[in-house]
Homo-oligomer: A and B are copies of this chain.
Amino acid sequence: MSELRFDPFKGRWVNVSPHRAARPLHLVGDRDSCPFCPGNEHDTPPEVLAIRPPDGPADGPGWTLRVVPNRFPALTPAAHDVRRSMGVFAMMAGVGHHEVLIETPDHEADLDDLPAAQMARVLRVLWRLVGEHERAPETAYVLAFRNWGRAAGASVAHPHTQILALPVVPAAIAREVTNSVAYLRRTGRPLAEDMLREEIADGARRVAENDRFVVLVPFAAAFPFEMALYPRQPAARFAELTEAEVSPLGELLQDVLRRMKRVLNGPAYNIVLHTAPNPIAPATAALADPDEIEAAFHWHLEIVPRPERTDGFEWATGLYVCTLAPEEAARQLRENSPP
């Protein structure tokens, strides 16, 4: 069982999961021992959901997509999650869910290698998982992210997305929410809408777009070639994604991943979903009025290639030094469209 501990200085929860230190590496060439490869289904806990032919047995091969509990979970289901104070500190049990969405049976395919139909399946399953976790008021936030490459934190090379149903709102998300709510109160408008209107009019930081989505290099990007993907039709939560948006989202995401790979020659990278906290969770109401959050916040994806150089003090201070102008990064990404 893991723990969540609150740091009163930094105002953030930390997950303490000693058992995760024991998780093995499964690298690119390592197909036989890969727990996510077809034929090795017994190496994962029993599946939560899978797409396979109607006559295929659960936890056997033949699937095209599979969702399983993480074998080294940062959070586990439990009957209760009592928060305890210990003097200036607070802690609670690490109660929640930690799932893995195995995106394809193909050990070495990345998201942009998938056929469009499979990419759409991945998004529909992610949409469903996020929505289902948001039915539980004890889930404050559904965190979905994807680590690609060792340098980006992936311990299993086989392509997958991780989903954490958390009893707390991660600090960086909470800040984006409260900053967006403050802007709405001040101006009467959502920050992301104003930002998108300005960015579309300016154009210098636009990377790619289609009828439904826009990809930008953020004005104050912390890392070279960092990108943000926003829906044109704003919505607070990813669970509000419509069926008409699924294919355009998949297409644009694949397009910008290909651009990034051309410019950076296949970097390690992270994709992180930023969505509004669960509106029915008490933890969300403690942050701001859930109706205000729905009006103020817009879901988006952050796509961040791992820089070759990192300045170690940056995470400690929150002062990032970016060695490439966002406009220059956007120009290179725009000009390197996939063939």
Contacts and interface: CB of A to CB of B under 8 A. Distances in A.
A175 interface: yes
A27 interface: no
Nearest to A316: B272
Contact of A16 (B179, B314, B326): B326
A298 to B, nearest CB: 10
Nearest to A189: B88
Contacts of A316: 145, 172, 270, 272, 302, 304
A194 B322 contact: no
Contacts of A11: 175, 179
B317 A172 contact: yes
A74 B314 CA distance: 13
Given A155-B309, A191-B88, A317 B6 contact: no
Interface in A268-323: 268-270, 272, 302, 304, 306, 309-323
Contacts of A195: 8-9, 87-89
B313 A219 contact: no
B17 A88 contact: no
Contact of A10 (B5, B87, B175, B183): B175
A139 interface: no
A6 B153 contact: no
Copies of the polypeptide in the assembly = 2
A234 to B, nearest CB: 14
Given A143-B319, A316-B302, A328-B18, A176 B9 contact: yes
A180 interface: yes
Interface of A: 5-18, 20-21, 74, 86-89, 143, 145, 147, 152-155, 162, 166, 170-176, 179-180, 183, 191-192, 194-195, 198, 218-222, 224, 268-270, 272, 302, 304, 306, 309-326, 328
Query: Closest 5 A-B residue pairs measured CB to CB?
Result: A171-B318, A172-B318, A153-B312, A7-B220, A170-B319
9 contacts: A9-B176, A10-B176, A21-B324, A147-B311, A171-B318, A174-B318, A175-B318, A270-B316, A306-B312
